[in-house]
Structure 1
């Protein structure tokens, strides 16, 4: 089995929780190490790897095939471009870039160089989203007409990470949680005809948007995406209405919580939801009303990395392509323009 030597560009929360455990677990990857500017932490968890002193050291290492760009959003374009120019495949966290033009440039560059470039939209592999996707694919709801995805929490205090709270082109909830939800919507429903959005600042002392509502317009349906930090009691995170029925589902994927507790993603039950979080389906079949709870699918971010492996080794499409990442950035730009102008933006 071919092994892909892989390096991270940071080893903070994202590196230690979302990337390193799955790269280490997958037999097709070798975790080579991470760029660490000050704290040297990766060798505490993986003693045989390297703590690289600089980005240049990673780019100069000819044994490395894949670079994970998991640094703050404002650095993604520059670091990814440098990785591609150095002949490395790349995985880039959300938000992919700051602008759609940057995203498209990186996509073109990767294709020109014959390299793979994937966007780490890991929420496609959450148990809750996989369950919603499966229910929709059964067509048991009939023709879909109204869909609401929300990503809310009760976090009234400002984040201690300055790059998330200081005003900049990369800051704001629409660029932090927005990409997850937009990507999920595009994955299920494709590219919309138009966008309308409301962005606001709700928390005391906040200086960046921490609330958004985005409506994606399709010919036959509307998709509403909501995010905020002041929901102490939350409604179902996924509400899907069709002409025959409805499906309501909580956001209950267990992976992040378990990884933060230090669990490794090799447990036999990785990663099941409790029965209490099963989604509610109410529909009809052959004239009979059905109301039942749907067992949740298992989430697993390892499937993303399996997709990356297949892309690099067998020239398959990336699990989330750069072109898909560019589409998400176009929606974000349209949402920001819509909120500023107070009008629907046609795509």
Structure 2
């Protein structure tokens, strides 16, 4: 609260609010909440309640499921939901004795919660519950909580093995390994972006090279590790602004956080190179993880003399692992979060 003039020439960075969901990497925290009362607001700076960006996947095969982000809450609307749904880890299924054991897909995406912006009770909640008779009856910070981003799904891991020619093993054995699914963006007044699914791929044991005559008694093995997905961006926060005079050169920002990018797959092991058994490692576009969804924009309620300069855009979605590496797979990018909303009123209503 400022009785006269508040001059902002740098950035007022409001502390982030709700931590993101866990998993391989935690999602981005939601933007903070701010109540600002000043007779005049001047300067050329910015007041920032943006959601935090999600984390980018940079590892393989950690096999973690992800957790949802914290829920947003606007009690009077009757709406309460997940900030960001946690994505699934990639598959690590094995085919033995003519039957499958385990999940056979790439990790499922984190799916964002539906928007409440079009709910008919929202406007009445703001005007009747928070602002009654032209004065503030209850702090919005206590009743309006933006959501955080969902965590990232880890990559699956599996192994296939081919025995030398002295062993009569079942050459039909194979495994399927997938990249993790991207976490979705946190939601607040609008909807965060869905994450992207991870990619899965067959791997056959009889594709490995073994000692052709069995003289070296060596077995070929290959480990397959799916990429780690990105985690979702946090939703933008909330600003309640009351001022008789606001400079258009001051920016009020409540943008959603950017979704993290996925990672690509890797295979490593030991196989016959024509003369001997040698270690082998290759990073590739397959088993790619999905990108994460961006967080939704936040909410600004203003009582001012004019429409201030505001930024309410949703965060961009992350790209899948194969796109980072340069190539193709079936993993998907995350979706952009929806833009936020603003409710503006003439400050004279409070006078």
TM-score range, shorter chain: under 0.3
Which structure would you say has the larger Rg? Answer: 2
Which of the pair is proportionally richer in helix? 1
Structure with the larger strand share:
2
TM-score w.r.t. structure 2 length? 0.22
